[in-house]
Amino acid sequence: MTKAPLAILISGRGSNMAALIDAARSDDCPYEVVLVASNKPEAAGLATARAAGITTFAHSHKGLSREDFDAIIDAELRRAGARYVALAGYMRILSPGFVAGWAGHMVNIHPSLLPLYKGLDTHGRAIAAGDAEGGCSVHLVTAELDDGEVIAQARVPILPGDTAESLADRVLTEEHRLYPEALASYIRRHG
Ligand code: GAR
């Protein structure tokens, strides 16, 4: 089986990135990770990726326009031969031109049951609203923040006494299971 080349964009610790890299080791996984790139040269996930033998690229976005920065990332993704892009804790709003160039080929994981709680502080908002459940969503990336078609979700209960941190931990465990599975099934369907 020819595996689809996947690039992963991160800004931080990269635990979802690590889950995608681990899953890609299996023979029947339809993608291989060809690049991990970051807008934060200090992102901890870069060292994790390098330790796993993955090529990394880091460039700070500071002092650059959104368009100019995204053009730098886009050039690296193309140079690496990526066919799909997975955002994994990539905390940057993307320029419309960049998004258009990867339409149907770029996915994100967001820590809420979309369309609920787009943006930041998803767990704190779910608890404050008195929700019985939280969760995470894998969705296609469009120009609107956290707005593209949802391709998979996982739910967890919100328990009495939960804090944003305890709920985030419970959801993160599900993220690590959901993201590789959802991406693999999307790529199997779309080639
Ligand atoms: C994850 O919980 C992910 O869902 C979230 O950031 C965390 C990154 O953790 N993403 C967003 O909030 C995107 N809007 P990780 O770096 O350990 O994967």
Q: What is the CATH number of the domain that holds 35?
A: 3.40.50.170
Query: Would you say 11 and 90 are in contact if contact means Cβ atoms under 8 Å apart?
Result: yes
- Of ligand 1's listed atoms, the one at least distance from the Cα of 16 is 18
Q: How many domains is the chain built from?
A: 1
Domain coverage including residue 134:
4-190
pLDDT in tens, 147-179: 999 999 999 999 999 999 999 999 999 999 999
| Probe residue for ligand 1, chosen from 9, 20, 36, 110 as the CB with the greatest number of ligand atoms within 8 Å | 110
Residue 132 is predicted with a pLDDT of 98
Look over the chain and give the mean of its residue pLDDT values, rounded to a whole number: 97
Residue 13 Cβ contacting ligand 1 at under 6 Å: yes
Q: What confidence category does residue 128 fall into, taking pLDDT thresholds of 50, 70 and 90?
A: very high
Annotation marks residue 110 as catalytic: yes
